[in-house]
Copies of this chain bind each other. A is one copy, B any other.
Amino acid sequence: MKYVDMNSAQLQAEYSEVSKCFAEEKQKGLKLDMSRGKPGKEQLDIVSDILTVLSKPEDCVADGLDVRNYGELTGLPCAKKYFAEILGCKPEECFIGGNASLTLMYDTIAKAYTHGLLHSEKPWSKLDTVKFLCPSPGYDRHFNISRSFGMELITITMTENGPDMDAVEEAVKDPAVKGIWCVPKYSNPDGIIYSSEIISRIAHLKPVAPDFVVMWDNAYCIHEFEGDYVPFPDILSICQDAGNPDMVFEYASTSKVTFPGAGISVMAASVDNIKYMAGLITYQSISYDKVNQLRHVRYLKDKTHTLDLMKKHAAILRPKFHTVLDALEHEIAPLGIASWKRPTGGYFVSVDTMDGLAKRTLALCREAGVVMTSAGATFPYGADPRDRNIRIAPSLPPVAELEEAIHVFCVCLRLAALEKLLGRQ
């Protein structure tokens, strides 16, 4: 029975029972973490062979280069070829970075701020106001990069097919609007795949700012955990065909393919953009870690081989997502107090509670020893206007722990809903 359909006595009875459950969970002294999209140990273990794929000096030669020495700022040719195949773009459009695509994204924005982008009239630091579009719910680290540079964050509603493009098209009429954050495949946290129509409208944007930038974080480009690999179009050529060749920077990494934080990353953009950015990055770096670039190329080989590996990751992740989704289905769905999607890739389950329950639910979880991403984190300034979105990251804990953690979450959500309905909070 839905909570909203219960009368006061029924709610009261339910509240007593759920309170008892909560007290029981609290007593267990749990310490469970569903806060971040960290792969679990089992996922790390299946890629251990990468550690020894380069073991002798003669293994360290590729493309005629000794990868152990300085040089090749934009990355090893074989690494460019690898990522170009994954993303569907050209090798010369790829700049291979260090262990984190986040750093490449930050650097792009930082360069815009200190030097300007290719088509900037001046560095953004010289402007009074810089605004950035933030489809929400979205990825807190994206929003925080913009925020750390003092930009004004504009919330754009996420639809089932991607950002609300009417709002985006309206917003880019403002010359202070300089860009948009996108996670186009298995969006963080909703797991939405942008539709072809949305992608086309993004590529055809006519922003007033000549240096408007689409920050295309293709973090989950090959990260299906349910079903087969879903092909996804190359944003670079779509933007090029739309007459906006320099408007987009795409990012990806192997963080959730091999080791998080010890993988390699890529920034893909028009050849002119890459040339411009490399010209700025040359002051900052002689070259990124090419030993690790080669280690990855030798280990991952190509797209087909990598997709085979992703199937192994999927086999580990799938039961974890099912654990979360089954618990929500079983414990929450009948009560009508929250909704969620059933993603088939990515690293998150995004739950929308009844308005005004997210903070309280997560405070209760914390009390019971279950850490989750902070409420509001998926919105600009960490402020969810309806206080309802909760991002669940099921990847790290083993299934047994996850069962416990998601049960605690469901109890806390129920308790928060009952408190609200009974006017107790």
What is A's interface to B at a CB cutoff of 8 Å? 36, 38-39, 41, 44-45, 48, 51-52, 54-57, 59-60, 66-71, 98-100, 102-103, 106-107, 110, 113-115, 123, 125-126, 141, 144-145, 148-149, 255, 259-262, 280, 283-292
Q: Shortest CB–CB separation between residue A100 and chain B, in angstroms?
A: 6
Q: Are A102 and B261 in contact (CB under 8 A)?
A: no
A102 to B96, CA, bound (A): 18
Q: Are B114 and A110 in contact (CB under 8 A)?
A: yes
Q: Are A292 and B292 in contact (CB under 8 A)?
A: yes
Q: What are 24 A-B contacts defined by CB distance under 8 Å? A: A38-B69, A38-B71, A41-B66, A51-B56, A68-B261, A69-B260, A69-B261, A98-B98, A99-B288, A99-B289, A100-B287, A106-B283, A106-B284, A107-B284, A110-B114, A110-B284, A114-B114, A114-B125, A145-B284, A259-B291, A261-B289, A261-B291, A262-B291, A289-B292
Inter-chain contacts of A141 with B (CB < 8 A): 283, 286
Inter-chain contacts of A259 with B (CB < 8 A): 68-69, 291
A102 to B48, CA, bound (A): 30
Q: Are B102 and A284 in contact (CB under 8 A)?
A: yes
From A71, which residue of chain B is reached at the shortest CB distance?
B261
From A72, which residue of chain B is reached at the shortest CB distance?
B261
Q: Are A283 and B114 in contact (CB under 8 A)?
A: no
Partner of A285, one of B39, B102, B284: B102
Inter-chain contacts of A106 with B (CB < 8 A): 283-285
Q: Shortest CB–CB separation between residue A64 and chain B, in angstroms?
A: 14
Partner of A261, one of B55, B280, B290: B290
A255 to B145, CA, bound (A): 30
Q: Shortest CB–CB separation between residue A78 and chain B, in angstroms?
A: 16
A114 to B150, CA, bound (A): 10
Inter-chain contacts of A114 with B (CB < 8 A): 110, 113-114, 125, 149
Q: Are A70 and B38 in contact (CB under 8 A)?
A: yes
A164 to B349, CA, bound (A): 62
Inter-chain contacts of A56 with B (CB < 8 A): 48, 51
Inter-chain contacts of A60 with B (CB < 8 A): 44, 51
Inter-chain contacts of A262 with B (CB < 8 A): 67-68, 289-292
Interface-central residue, A51, A59, A115, by most chain B CB under 10 Å: A51
Inter-chain contacts of A290 with B (CB < 8 A): 261-262
Inter-chain contacts of A36 with B (CB < 8 A): 70
Inter-chain contacts of A287 with B (CB < 8 A): 100, 261
Q: Are A144 and B283 in contact (CB under 8 A)?
A: yes
Q: Identify 13 new A-B residue pairs, CB closer than 8 A, beyond the known A44-B60, A100-B286, A144-B283.
A: A48-B57, A51-B55, A52-B55, A70-B255, A102-B286, A113-B125, A114-B114, A123-B125, A148-B280, A259-B291, A261-B288, A262-B289, A262-B290
Q: Shortest CB–CB separation between residue A419 and chain B, in angstroms?
A: 34
A284 to B147, CA, bound (A): 12
A110 to B114, CA, bound (A): 8
